[in-house]
Amino acid sequence: MPTPQISPVLQLINALRSFMDLRENQVVLYNQKWKNPNDDGLYIFFALIGTKPYGNTREYQNSDDNEALLEILTVHTQETYSIHVYSRSQAAWDRKEEVLLFLNSTAVQQIQEAVGFKLATIPVSFVDTSETEGAGRINKYTITVNLLRMVQKENVVQYYDKFPDSNKKLLINP
C-alpha cells in the first residue's frame, strides 16, 4: 500500500509561507478551526470551490510477483481553488501580486513535478472582494485558480482460484 502524500494544496501553502516570509498562522487552509485575526497583518487562506471529474478508469494488472491480480482505479479531476489575500491594513493591497508571482515560481514548478499535478499560472479571476467592517475596511482580494490532478488506488482482486473457500468445485453437467 503506498504511503499517503501531503495534498498538493498543503504543499503549496507551505511553499507560499516561505516565499512570502509569513508565519504558519498567516497562510492556512480554509475551515481548519482558524480564527479571523484582528491585527493589521497580512493573511492568506486557500478554499476549495469545487471539483470537476473528467476521467474515471479501472484497469487490471498482475502484481510484481505474479501472485495477485490488482485492480487499479484512477480518477482525474480539475479542482478550483480560491486564494483569499486580506488585511486590515494596506498589506493586502501592496502584496497581492506576490501570490501571482508565486504561482509561476520555480518552487511551485518543483512541487508540481514531485507530486504530479498541474497548477494554472494564470488565474481564472483576480477580484477585489474588500468589505467594510464597522469604521474600517478590510482589504481583500480573491484569486481563483485551477489545479489538475490524478488520484489512484490499487486493490487486490479476489480471483476465482483465490477465494477464501477454494475447496468448492463448480460442476458442469454432472
Report pLDDT digits (tens) over 109-123: 999 999 889 999 899
Which CATH entry fits the domain spanning 8-157: 3.40.50, 3.30.70, 3.30.1380, 3.30.413? Answer: 3.30.70
Q: Is the pLDDT of residue 2 over 60?
A: no
The pLDDT score that the predictor gives to residue 3 is 47
Indicate the pTM of the whole model: 0.80
What contacts 59, CB < 8 A, 6 or more positions away? 71, 72, 74
Span 137-150, pLDDT tens digits: 789 999 999 999 99
The pLDDT score that the predictor gives to residue 7 is 86
Q: Is the pLDDT of residue 5 over 50?
A: yes
Q: Domain segments of the chain: what residues?
A: 8-157
Q: Is the pLDDT of residue 167 over 70?
A: no
Span 70-99, pLDDT tens digits: 999 999 999 999 999 999 899 999 999 999
C-alpha Rg value of the chain to the nearest Å = 23
H or E segment and range at residue 78: strand 69-87
Span 23-52, pLDDT tens digits: 999 999 987 776 777 888 999 999 999 999
